[in-house]
Structure 1
């Protein structure tokens, strides 16, 4: 049974094998409409991927199915002790959600989302090893979700997060890495609240536990405790409807600093693989997302937004930034939705990750990486 589950999730993750994202390995927002509004969605659910942003949001979207495909293109560059490398990125990542209004006050649904980061330079970096440098972290979540409307306009939601993770490290012999790939299963929970506080004004609150994965045996000699978990996170959102306009704001906290593999400093002091062993040196992120939606006509909506966050990699911890270049903590967004019929809608979104270059200082001096990425998402939604 375990092999069957691993195979299914691995197939879903193949297209996300080299995803680059805004907040660590996470996108600024999930769901095509949310993407067009800078990710601002905790209090503004719009489709059946709402569970990724706030499980309670599924209570407000009704019975529907949504699918999307995101194309990411750009170039990532690094310079490690004078060795320059680059990688041209072109990848496609799917998204899917389905929701069913089981009873007037109860919904049942599922959302599938992808996370990841990776690089393929096609050449060695002498400071890292003798083989061609290639890294790949893929994390996929399937989130069965239930909501309950306990008062009119007030919803509670619960998601069970079932995860698949794959990690490949290549060309890091100087750090003790074996050029190998391994996978693991994981699980966590997400809870949320969505409520109408006043006419047109909504509040959303959400919390996700860490998604704890099994040990990656092939990498237990270099990764603290052999595990890379998805961190706990919490968020709060507000949305306000006034005439044809909707304005939304989110704050999201991502707790990278509790996950030892990501948070431990490269100079932590412990032995590789130990709980106090070297890691990537990440710090927590505080993400602020702003979005505006305009109902131009009965058929057409237009939207825009921004996502602004601190960079999770301090300059003093940039030694390994070249193999995990999650370097775009700020992004600008545009989007639209066109209603083909009463049931079907087509949505598009564009995201530009504002260029950011990390330059190492102190023990990380001589390492830098950065790039420029464009994301284009097309989604189809069908309401029953």
Structure 2
């Protein structure tokens, strides 16, 4: 077994995750270079994390290994019935990918990605309970991926998504939370297509099934059906190369409304934990991503982008935003890559999640929650 093959097999053991959030518990971009282009990567794969955005993208990146570290910082604030709270965020999230060109028309690889959200106010919120409010959702996906070039320049990709999640809810006694932490395993599938449809123009299509997780037994009395699955999503991407310029566009649909724990209204009417019990009240998101990359020289690339989405949390569901701060749907991005040698490249990216405050209406009257986040990513890529 050669050196790269050993690294590829060991890679799922190298990364653990906890995460901040942009589109729900998802980042606006996965992969250090994609992060600098607003996340627009469905038709523009650049590294071995490409499978997260489109499994077929691994067909274009060759044999390589990539790792990154994202630092998320900012302040999240809430006002719940006059109780003002804040949390100064500092979270470090690794990412990893490896890909191997098994044959000229076949690749095999793996991508590891993190998702999550949480809050730690360090004190109680009377409307929620008597102990200190702290919430933490962390999800990790390990995606073994294979691609096949069925015609020159046209690729199909398939990912098996193996998931692990942990959920902790503390200080929510008034909702029936047990102040415990629980863990679950899950699985799903991702498929994708990537092809050159005209000179310089690529089209990408991708679909991910839900990642179905085991029941969280410690929270079955508060979460509908005791399960917190990752929703299905589908996307379309276009990328166009013109001289030193690459222009990329993604559209992504995230089906939050199909998962009861996320979609059920806080005032759903059923008892906590039942299929018709209270949830977060999220609606589907339509995400639009635009990115530009410029090859300034043989060694240096510069890039920028923007990610725009509708807010998945209606104002009438603002109450639980204060414990699940996933309401920054618009972000600005900058990035660069420097080619140190023929094999080694270094990438930096910065993302600013624009400040957004959700102001409650109806049953959530008197609640305001939100904030702003900054993310700085440093990545290394090595081509074999």
TM class by shorter chain equals over 0.9
Q: Normalising by the residue count of structure 1, what TM-score does the alignment of the two structures yield?
A: 0.96
Q: What does residue 7 of structure 2 align with?
A: none
Distance 2:372 2:155 in 1: 39
Give a deviation string over 1:331-358, Cα, whole Å, max 9, x none.
0000000000001000000000000000
Q: Which moved more, 1:47-56 or 1:265-274?
A: 265-274
Alignment of 1:301-320 (within 5 A): 301-320=301-320
Q: What does residue 5 of structure 1 align with?
A: none
Matched, 1:97 2:122: no
Distance 2:57 2:185 in 1: 26
Distance 1:116 1:12 in 2: 15
Q: What does residue 170 of structure 1 align with?
A: 170
Unmatched tracts of structure 2, length 5 or more: 1-10
Decide whether the 8 Å contact of 2:20 with 2:91 is kept in 1: no
Q: What does residue 215 of structure 1 align with?
A: 215
Q: What does residue 229 of structure 1 align with?
A: 229
Distance 1:201 1:319 in 2: 45
Q: What does residue 192 of structure 2 align with?
A: 192
Alignment of 1:7-18 (within 5 A): 12-13=15-16, 15-16=17-18
Unmatched tracts of structure 1, length 5 or more: 1-7
Matched, 1:359 2:359: yes
Distance 2:13 2:348 in 1: 27
Give a deviation string over 1:99-131, Cα, whole Å, max 9, x none.
000000000000000000000000000000000
Decide whether the 8 Å contact of 1:51 with 1:57 is kept in 2: yes
Decide whether the 8 Å contact of 2:15 with 2:95 is kept in 1: no
Q: What does residue 240 of structure 1 align with?
A: 240
Alignment of 1:1-384 (within 5 A): 12-13=15-16, 15-16=17-18, 19-384=19-384
The 1:227–1:65 alpha-carbon spacing in structure 2 relative to 1, beyond 3 Å, is: same
The 1:98–1:12 alpha-carbon spacing in structure 2 relative to 1, beyond 3 Å, is: closer
Structure 1 residue 301: deviation in Å? 0.3
Distance 2:110 2:191 in 1: 14
The 1:10–1:166 alpha-carbon spacing in structure 2 relative to 1, beyond 3 Å, is: farther
Structure 1 residue 271: deviation in Å? 1.1
Q: What does residue 3 of structure 1 align with?
A: none
Structure 1 residue 372: deviation in Å? 1.3
Distance 1:172 1:53 in 2: 35
Structure 1 residue 9: deviation in Å? 7.9
Distance 2:319 2:374 in 1: 25
Decide whether the 8 Å contact of 1:155 with 1:194 is kept in 2: yes
Distance 2:119 2:83 in 1: 15
SS of the residue 1:320 aligns to: helix
The 1:201–1:11 alpha-carbon spacing in structure 2 relative to 1, beyond 3 Å, is: closer
Distance 1:107 1:10 in 2: 21
Structure 1 residue 61: deviation in Å? 0.3
Distance 2:292 2:255 in 1: 27
Q: Normalising by the residue count of structure 2, what TM-score does the alignment of the two structures yield?
A: 0.96
Distance 1:12 1:124 in 2: 33
Distance 1:359 1:333 in 2: 26
Structure 1 residue 11: deviation in Å? 8.5
Decide whether the 8 Å contact of 2:30 with 2:113 is kept in 1: yes
